[in-house]
Amino acid sequence: MAKRWFWLMGIWLTGVWAVAAPVDDLERFLNSVITLSAAFEQTLLDEKGQVSQRSRGRFYLKRPGRFRWTYETPFRQEVVADGRQVWFYDPDLEQVTVRDMDAALGSAPALLLSGEIRLGERFGVVDQGREGKRAWIELRPKSDEDVFRRVRVELEDGRLVRMELADNFGQLTRIRFFDMALNPPLDDKLFHFRPPPGVDVFKG
């Protein structure tokens, strides 16, 4: 009887630890996303750890491969992906840069959420533990050509709340998501971009 109890207890504990792994939470969240909308706050820190820029805006996503970052403050900017290309629009400069999805490494947060990246193929995945309702995962790019040397993801109650991206120039980008809606109805037109008349368009 004692052997059977220990055997059953071992199976139960194995199951508990498997469910409790933070990377499982991340995989489960990513697999649940069809559409997504959220407000965001982005903070850029320089190589000395000093805040060099703060910005806020809205983020929208629709799988497969479509997303839209709308920066509202301090400057208006748009980053729009239609599934094939990513458009970077700066109204103040009156210019647009367009890149193929595969080349748009600077949009790693959105690409991660959009399902265009397979975690195990693109990253080494490291569980960084959990505390209460929060869990942390670090993603380390396998390619030396990646813009980012690590991406740290924070989940709360199984939902994404923060991302931290360290680039190869010593800069750190922190993105906090709030007012998140999972799988809301989103019009396809939200992910179409047509350069305004008179705007310069560059191929990146």
Q: What is the pLDDT of residues 29-50, one digit of tens each?
A: 988 999 999 999 999 999 888 9
Could you tell me the domains of the chain? 22-196 (2.50.20.10)
CB 195 within 8 A of CB 97: no
Q: What is the pLDDT of residues 93-102, one digit of tens each?
A: 999 999 887 6
Q: Name the pTM for this structure.
A: 0.81
CB 24 within 8 A of CB 150: no
